[in-house]
Amino acid sequence: MMEMKDLRKTLRLYLVTDRALSMGRELEWVVEEAVRGGVTMVQLREKDSDTREFVELARRLQPVLREAGVPLIINDRSDVALAVDADGVHIGQSDMPYEIARRLLGPEKIIGLSVENMLQVKEANSLDVDYIGISPVYSTTTKTDTAPPFGLEGLREAVKLSVHPTVAIGGMNAATAPEALKTGVNGIAVVSAICSAPSPYLAALELGEK
Amino acid sequence: MMEMKDLRKTLRLYLVTDRALSMGRELEWVVEEAVRGGVTMVQLREKDSDTREFVELARRLQPVLREAGVPLIINDRSDVALAVDADGVHIGQSDMPYEIARRLLGPEKIIGLSVENMLQVKEANSLDVDYIGISPVYSTTTKTDTAPPFGLEGLREAVKLSVHPTVAIGGMNAATAPEALKTGVNGIAVVSAICSAPSPYLAALELGEK
């Protein structure tokens, strides 16, 4: 098993998938290109797939990710994560309660939690989550059901407050990443900046150099 | 734990929930009334809920169901079933593959499988599923993504072919139940015939007498 539990470096460039934003290209190709470009972690997010399709897609991504030593995180679905023996799950505030996800997955798996305000950052401090996703930093069209954005100052404050490794999500791209990373956040999570890029490989490469 | 593994009697009147068809009434109330009217099994089906909401709803139904000795089956989601220690899951052909669901839930839990044609009835015979749902018997407006209906003769044939306990679903109501039950099927599964009934209690009572 790869070294998972100090995620500070592994969170550096975190791809969250979105098939609808992948411009009609196969998600496997997008992920493979992104990994080749330097993505350090991948979250498979499938909100509209049947369970079987979700499982099969996760399995198709695994060889490339394992070869590259890049953890595969499943959005929300502990059953899918268990089915494919993924490296962990990412849960939001309306997903499976953290304690239950931990019980289902066991102590070794990675569990990340989205936090949408300072109170949730504090609450996460009392849980043994492996990282928090600070969401959203900026408002974005990728997710429309998000809380008010943290902004750069809010991100800095959240990072300072958190005892956990942190990743910034929401409006992260080549233009916004440098300032975000200066706050001390361990990494940035991107969706469209890679999934919708003409070359996911070049997009990942560029983001990794910020 | 209740006697679960011979389900032939327990399948007799199987309520599959649908909040959208519950005429604006609380699902807890609909289920409680239906159980009072004689429902023998309940499947919680929540296709559009957040995971947390699904878990909380399952937990709210459990006291009434446990009190009545009525098994709670979770549609598709093994993670939700594990989270609340439900009595089992029901999976369709595009849900979690049976073998994985069994591995996640262990040998004691109930796992039901929907079959949509004779080939799938045969395939199910080679699996240790606890029951099959023969779906749909008649076409219905409750589910629009279903296969061509079995019809009464197809139902009879499927029941004869199956080595497992059987339940008929799709277009089952007080008018269609008597003929369906004459095929030898162990039970009928209903959605709107109870969820949308003016009195779920009376509807269940009437269906139980067929």
Q: Which domains does chain A have, with CATH numbers?
A: 4-208 (3.20.20.70)
pLDDT digits (tens, 9 = 90+) for B36-64: 999 999 999 998 899 999 999 999 999 99
What's the rounded Cα separation, in Å, for the pair A181 and A10?
Answer: 14
In B, minimum Cα distance to A103 occurs at: B83
Asked if the Cβ–Cβ distance from A51 to B79 is below 8 Å, we say no
Task: Please compute the mean of the pLDDT values over residues A144-161 and round it to a whole number.
Answer: 92
Task: Please compute the mean of the pLDDT values over residues B90-118 and round it to a whole number.
Answer: 97
Q: Is B199 a catalytic residue?
A: no
Radius of gyration of chain B (CA): 15
For the cut 80, the answer to whether the pLDDT of residue B143 exceeds it is no
Q: What is the pTM of this model?
A: 0.94
Asked if the Cβ–Cβ distance from B51 to A96 is below 8 Å, we say yes
pLDDT digits (tens, 9 = 90+) for A9-68: 999 999 999 999 999 999 999 999 999 999 999 999 998 899 999 999 999 999 999 999
In B, which residues are within 8 Å of A53 by CB distance? 94
In B, which residues are within 8 Å of A55 by CB distance? 96-97, 100
- The residues of A carrying an active-site annotation are 45, 114, 143
Mutate to test the interface with B, among A51, A84, A91 (most CBs of B within 10 A): A51
For the cut 80, the answer to whether the pLDDT of residue A1 exceeds it is no
Write down the mean pLDDT value for chain A: 95
Task: Please compute the mean of the pLDDT values over residues B4-24 and round it to a whole number.
Answer: 91
Q: Which DSSP string do the residues of B105-143 spell out, in sequence order? A: H-TTSEEEEEE-SHHHHHHHHTS--SEEEE--SS--SS-
pLDDT band at B1 (very low <50, low <70, confident <90, very high): very low
Asked if the Cβ–Cβ distance from B79 to A83 is below 8 Å, we say no
Shortest CB distance from B52 goes to which of A52, A83, A94? A94
Q: What is the ipTM of this complex?
A: 0.92
In A, which residues are within 8 Å of B50 by CB distance? 94-95
Q: What's residue A3's pLDDT?
A: 47
Residue % of chain B over a pLDDT of 70: 96
Asked if the Cβ–Cβ distance from B79 to A78 is below 8 Å, we say yes
Write down the mean pLDDT value for chain B: 95
For the cut 70, the answer to whether the pLDDT of residue A179 exceeds it is yes
